[in-house]
A and B are shown apart, each in its own frame.
Chain A
């Protein structure tokens, strides 16, 4: 039996940042990762809030030195010539006003290496096959099929799409968001914007909000291009994933122009059923972080931000618990995380029902006044209580939409 203070399941950003924090506080950490790194995963665009969290654990400098694509903002463009460019520097005064576009195989490896360098014990290509929540014993099968028992004071599940504890403990619940598919590919030699926004993520809205395309520049020549749409819309084309990707990219005016000389550098990938949820984010001896909890739609690039925030928060609370304090996980963890999740979820819902586009593309002069608040949300500062979109997400989106679209107020 292998004993440790904490056992982390999963070596993505949520697991790594938790391990880094715990090691820095002097606690022993075992980390179980199912696959060999580096490995491919989508979710390549970070938000400024990530920089703050990375800085807090002392790894921002290594990330900056790794040469990732600088990201100064996000742009939204529809087929009716509406364009909204959001510059992160127009936030509500928060410190970090830029972030990075990252190949996750490189970024995730860098964070995991940092965790290992700080003394985290890694078991790579090992899989958690059973968990006893009462004894807090975790059964792990390694790549040679050898079974090992682990005992820890706390288990942090950062297994992402693997959803290890949600599966083993039957914690999955239906997502309130509609299921969507992502169809994606990396290309080279696209034509970038020449107005200084070449590092920005561009979101092209397809048709009448039927789908949207992410355009994430990963290096001076390589761009990640993904389409997100409902399964119904995808199925209506009766095409395989590559035909579908080609068709959408060739028919949206913005992507058609951007990729006219570009060529694919890998196969078109597909992930179905984007978005899921859990009944609870914690138990007496365990806590779920990152995508192991709820994963939202990727339209606002919130994935890595929520992963780092939750991993970091869970580690802070675990440290306090290991020091003998009593932690109220409901209030201090789940309720806290839900503040940010609810802001993004409200934006996601307003995106798909079209209200957010009305707000973003509004030509009403007073729209400037809400700019900083919107920018702050799109930068991942979704715990800043002075922002109305944070303290009252639904009411703020409704009221803003009403005021920017009602003739009387213009």
Chain B
């Protein structure tokens, strides 16, 4: 029973990371209809920013992380400005390939930056190594931090999208770009802002992931596991992305505990295929009809 609880808790904390990355996909997809295969790479870039500020430049943690957030957000907005905004109107295939190309390019470029390279790094954090013992189970503070920060971030995003002027404008943009443009919302800046927010969220995911999976060029591949999360929740649904992420995380941890070796690494994809076969619109999604 303790083992089970332990598995569930570490599943939830890894699931939070998937949820954050999936949240990034969904935000971008809802607003711009671009499916961003480079979301995991944005997470990697964010983690490397944080690593640079905190470990290489010795900034304090509480300054380094916000700086990395801003830096990654800016990076995401620039990516949109220079590449993806110019691709509106291209076929879905071309856009998918473009984001795959960006992902490949980012992985390669990051490995070339002096001080980053292909080595494995860690980010110094204030809660490293501390463990909370509660009713027979041990939870590391790092896992707790993941859960707390994710909850706070999702709450903050909820408040932002519901109660601020910019947030409501973004919601309008994602409902209908045309109508949003007619009522005077600057759709282009909205796109850049959404990319910025999405990249910033990915950066936080990267920082949170650092104690669990380190900072490495290929950490972006974890982003591919956020696809099952997004699909499970229904691709266009924000609550769905979070619930999907948590489910994928827990399923993955538990299959690592109870099922034969090797299932763990593909559990997320098996869930994905089952969902696609049984309920392609996901848990919270609505099926869209396309006009011919």
Q: Do A and B bind each other?
A: no
Q: Please report B residues at the A interface, Cβ cutoff 8 Å.
A: none
Q: Please report A residues at the B interface, Cβ cutoff 8 Å.
A: none
